[in-house]
Amino acid sequence: EVQLVESGGGLVQPGRSLKLSCAASGFTFSNYYMAWVRQAPTKGLEWVASITNSGGSTYYRDSVKGRFTISRDNAKSTLYLQMDSLRSEDTATYYCTREEGFPYYVMDAWGQGASVTVSS
Amino acid sequence: DIQMTQTPSSMPASLGERVTISCRASQGISNYLNWYQQKPDGTIKPLIYYTSNLQSGVPSRFSGSGSGTDYSLTISSLEPEDFAMYYCQQYDSSPLTFGSGTKLEIK
């Protein structure tokens, strides 16, 4: 069974940092692109960042470029999101997702989410 | 960025009813459109990929259609477990964008 389990969420002050982890199991992690999607309270879904299966390429939405870093450790089957210079607008539940690209693109597995609250 | 407009934002419906949710893109997206379901506990799963293809394990009462800028998700006969939030997502161009969601509520 495919499982994605996020951890590392919490309450953090504006301008500080937080690192999320996503432990993957039930599939060959190194074969898949992965992504983070967030959902602000009472809002819709918003793509944050993606990473290729090797980790060689990363992609970010403009609002987090230069502040967030997506990375992965294929030996540990774990995805990360390092979040620096956090702002109140980064408050959200962050979901780890698996990206399937064949035959067509779809986020075919999701974690349960990690809550991040940025507040003084 | 491509804007995805979902309508309606909420929809009261009854068990056994047929419902359709619409999603309009701000420009053509060449059928690169997926649908996702989010349950009240936050659990998210894919339903439809590439406009009309059923994700593995999804009941056949779900279907998708559309082209160009206009797409729709139809549930042919509502079951209790279908009352949830639904989101469309385009992947024609970066950044990936989602619709604002449709809440399917029990009438």
pLDDT digits (tens, 9 = 90+) for B64-107: 999 999 999 999 999 999 999 999 999 999 999 999 999 999 99
B 7-46: CB under 8 A from A = 32, 34, 36, 38, 42-46
Average pLDDT of every residue of chain A = 97
Residue B12 confidence (pLDDT) above 90:
yes
In this model, does residue A102 exceed pLDDT 90? no
Between chain A and chain B, how many beta carbons pairs sit less than 8 Å apart? 48
Confidence grade of residue A103 (pLDDT, cut at 50, 70, 90): confident
What chain B residue is nearest to A108 in terms of C-alpha separation?
B46
pLDDT the model gives residue A9: 97
Q: Residue B7: list chain A partners with CB under 8 A.
A: none
Instruction: Verify whether the Cβ–Cβ distance A47 to B101 is below 8 Å.
Output: no
- B60 CB near a chain A CB, below 8 Å? no
Residues of A with CB under 8 A from a CB of B: 44-47, 59, 61-62, 93, 95, 103-108, 110, 112-113
HEC string of chain B equals: CCCEEEECCEEEECCCCCEEEEEEECCCCCCCEEEEEECCCCCEEEEEECCCEECCCCCCCEEEEEECCEEEEEECCCCHHHCCEEEEEECCCCCCEECCCEEEEEC
Residues 6+ apart with CB under 8 A from A12: A18, A86, A116, A117, A118
pLDDT-derived band of residue A17, with 50, 70 and 90 as boundaries? very high
- What is the per-residue pLDDT across A45-70, written as a single tens digit (0 to 9) for each? 999 999 999 999 999 999 999 999 99
Would you say B14 and B106 are in contact if contact means Cβ atoms under 8 Å apart?
yes
Burial per residue of B52-83, b for 16 or more beta-carbon CB atoms within 10 angstroms, e otherwise:
bbebeebeeebbbebeebebbbebeebeeebb
Whether B34 shows a pLDDT value over 90: the answer reads yes
